[in-house]
Amino acid sequence: MASVKDIFHTAEFNKKLDEFIEFALQEDIGECDHTSFATVLATTQGEGRLLVKDNGVIAGIEVAQRIFKKIDNTIKVQVKIKDGAKVKRGDIAFIVKGPARSLLTGERLVLNCMQRMSGVATQANELMQLCKGTDAKVLDTRKTTPGIRLLEKWAVHLGGATNHRWGLYDMILIKDNHIECAGGVKQAIESTLAYLKQNKKKLAIEIEASSIKQLKEILATGGVQRILLDNFTPMELVKAIRLINGKYETEASGGITRENLGDFAHSGINYISVGALTHSVKSLDMSLKIFPVA
């Protein structure tokens, strides 16, 4: 089973991104940016520089460009560093020029998006570095911030990690609660196969195993593409992967930290899902200073 396809820059993704930007601007501006309009003349032109204040991976440059364009299409952005590049403290990511009022109105939304996205991209890159020397890939999860999943998953991609499913609609992931409510592993898989056939759906199926016993039930039933080995230790993973014997893709989750991620990667696992990749991340520090120009 291939990972979820790269949807970035498709018409559907662009539409969702535009909708997010419109909502975020309305949330922030409301009827008017009264402070900027009260203090700055309409004729004042401005220039801003996106200053990076941490080492990491930059993400959100394209988002910033689209935010400024949405606010005022006369704004010009000169990109110095592209999305996905490694940056260091003191770097200038872009220079933006245009009406000072418009720059001031967009400043905070640009920073909010870029700091969050860059924090996620940086963490994704760091976790992938811990997998060096293996074929394991770090996956994100659905543990994203409501409303900005598309930004966070884009940042994961820019950081070099891999996107899992985008939601409940594009893949079947049978977890412990589903198995319990279905009456067991066999029932859950057979019911899923019947559902997909009846509804003429072609969705990949992944199922969670929480023990070697449950794994053996899954192997006896078949019909899936990936097995999620939940809360297995690295040593237990080695045993489980031997049992699976290359018949299915494998994924590990639960109990994974920066300190032990390398051990999980060297077990022979295909994927390692890390919820903290998006739900517990430190934003990358940066600033956008704006000053008047002649």
Q: Is residue 2 part of a domain?
A: no
Q: What are the catalytic residues?
A: 108, 143, 175, 208, 230
Q: What is the DSSP letter of 253?
A: E
Q: Is residue 201 part of a domain?
A: yes
- Phi/psi at 78 (nearest 5 deg)? -100, 105
Q: Which candidate, 247, 210, 245, places its Cα nearest to that of 226?
A: 247
Q: Are residues 118 and 213 in the same domain?
A: no
The CATH number covering residue 213 comes to 3.20.20.70
Q: Is residue 168 part of a domain?
A: yes
pTM: 0.94
Q: Are residues 121 and 170 in the same domain?
A: no
pLDDT tens digits along 52-76: 999 999 999 999 999 999 999 999 9
Q: Are residues 143 and 110 in the same domain?
A: no
Q: Is residue 4 part of a domain?
A: no
Domain assignment of residue 123, given as a range: 11-127+282-293
pLDDT tens digits along 25-39: 999 999 999 999 999
207 contacts 224 by C-beta, under 8 angstroms: yes
Q: Are residues 136 and 265 in the same domain?
A: yes
Q: Is residue 6 part of a domain?
A: no
The predicted structure's pLDDT at residue 107: 98
The CATH number covering residue 55 comes to 3.90.1170.20
The predicted structure's pLDDT at residue 5: 47
Q: Write out residues in the chain with pLDDT < 70, as ranges.
A: 1-6
The predicted structure's pLDDT at residue 6: 60
